[in-house]
């Protein structure tokens, strides 16, 4: 007869910490976003708050750095508008002051330049089409990136007049 020692229940703090680190291995998260993920997976809120606090103190979870990375990826590389970047950051639970600080350097001129870059990248595929088709497709591309109707109209007009 073999007697097995009763297995100990895993430490909930360690389980939540491992879950959090696995998520952070895949991609960056904001504190609120990661908290929501962990709570959806059934973790206890007090344990989650404790673990996330430890991760923040260790520098593994930083809303300011996460917001700066989002601005770089979405605005600087994908050429999304300031408005679209702000919307995405708010959707992910970043605090308003963090969002504002991250996008403070994006002004109307920067948005306009981003829209012009999108139009210039799209232009070769549109050349030779009817002006109405170009207007519709280019406007749609810019609108999906979150640019305002005024910016879309200005940039599409510039593209149609050869000013890009």
Residues 33 and 49 in one domain: yes
Tell whether the torsion through CA atoms of 57, 60, 61 and 67 is positive or negative.
Answer: positive
Tokens of 81: 């508008």
The residue out of 26, 42, 57 marking a domain boundary is: 57
Q: For residue 25, is it within any domain?
A: yes
- How far separated are the first and last CA of the chain, in Å rounded? 84
> Measured between alpha carbons, how far is 69 from 135 in angstroms, rounded to an integer?
32
* pLDDT at residue number 128: 87
Residues 21 and 42 in one domain: yes
- CA–CA separation, 126 and 138 (whole Å): 8
123 inside domain: yes
The 3-state DSSP class for residue 3 equals coil
The answer to whether 119 and 155 are in contact (CB under 8 A) is yes
Pairwise CA distance, residues 126 & 122, whole Å: 7
pLDDT at 10: 85
Give 90-133 as a DSSP string. HHTT--HHHHHHHHTT--HHHHHHHHHHHHHHHHHHHTTS-HHH
- Residue 1 covered by a domain: no
pLDDT 10s per residue in the chain (164 long)?
555 555 677 899 999 999 999 999 999 999 999 999 999 999 999 999 999 999 999 999 999 999 999 999 999 999 999 999 999 999 999 999 999 999 999 999 999 999 999 999 999 999 889 999 999 999 999 999 999 999 999 999 999 998 77
**Any domain includes 3:** no
Q: Who contacts 149 (Cβ-Cβ below 8 Å, separation ≥6)? A: 143
Can you give the residue range of the structural domain that contains 84? 63-103
Same domain, 74 and 99: yes
Any idea how long the chain is? 164
């Amino acid at each position: 007869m073999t007697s097995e020692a009763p297995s100990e229940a895993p430490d909930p703090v360690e389980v939540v910490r491992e879950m959090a680190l696995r998520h952070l291995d895949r991609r960056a998260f904001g504190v609120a976003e990661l908290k929501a993920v962990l709570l959806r997976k059934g973790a206890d809120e007090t344990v989650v708050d404790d673990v996330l606090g430890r991760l923040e103190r260790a520098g593994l979870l930083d809303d300011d750095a996460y917001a700066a990375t989002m601005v770089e990826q979405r605005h600087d590389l994908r050429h999304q508008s300031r408005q679209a970047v702000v919307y995405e950051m708010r959707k992910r639970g970043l605090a308003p002051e963090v969002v504002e600080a991250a996008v403070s350097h994006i002004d109307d001129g920067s948005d306009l330049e981003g829209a012009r870059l999108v139009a210039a990248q799209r232009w070769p595929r549109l050349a030779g089409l009817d002006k109405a088709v170009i207007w519709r497709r280019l406007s749609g591309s810019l609108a999906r990136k979150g640019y305002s109707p005024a910016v879309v109209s200005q940039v599409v007009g510039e593209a149609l007049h050869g000013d890009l």
